[in-house]
Amino acid sequence: MGLTKSEIFTTYQNDISLFAKALGHPARVAILQHLFKMESCYCGNLVNEIGLAQPTVSQHLKELRNLGLIKGNVEGTSVCYCIDKENWERMKQLMHEFLNQEIQTKDECC
């Protein structure tokens, strides 16, 4: 598999790409939606909530943690998860800036 050569792109471009990756799978969107509904950290079994196998859910949780959108704390034999509010706000700002760009073409090109 080839490399993405992310080092040739700006930090801004890489950050947008990483945050978009977090939203690039419906399971991760479902996990985030579930965590948003909770008023505190969620320590239950997300497998029952999401409907996927444990290894699959674990992989998506790992991806969301690596991207910084969720945090997890070990409590006994379980891990409690919540949205990382600071990184979520950062993602919202970056995505807002990116998606609200004005198209600069003077005429219809296509």
| pTM attached to this predicted model | 0.83
CA distances from 47 to 29, 32, 43, 64, 75 (A): 14, 13, 12, 15, 18
Judge whether residue 92 has pLDDT over 90.
Answer: yes
| pLDDT tens readout for residues 4-31 | 687 899 999 999 999 998 899 999 999 9
C-alpha dist (Å) from residue 16 to 32, 42, 67: 17, 27, 11
**Where do the domains of the chain lie?**
10-91
> Is domain 10-91 annotated with CATH 3.10.180.10?
no
pLDDT at 110: 66
Which of residues 101 and 2 earns the better pLDDT score?
Answer: 101
Per-chain mean pLDDT for the chain: 88
Q: What is residue 71's DSSP assignment?
A: E
pLDDT at res. 34: 93
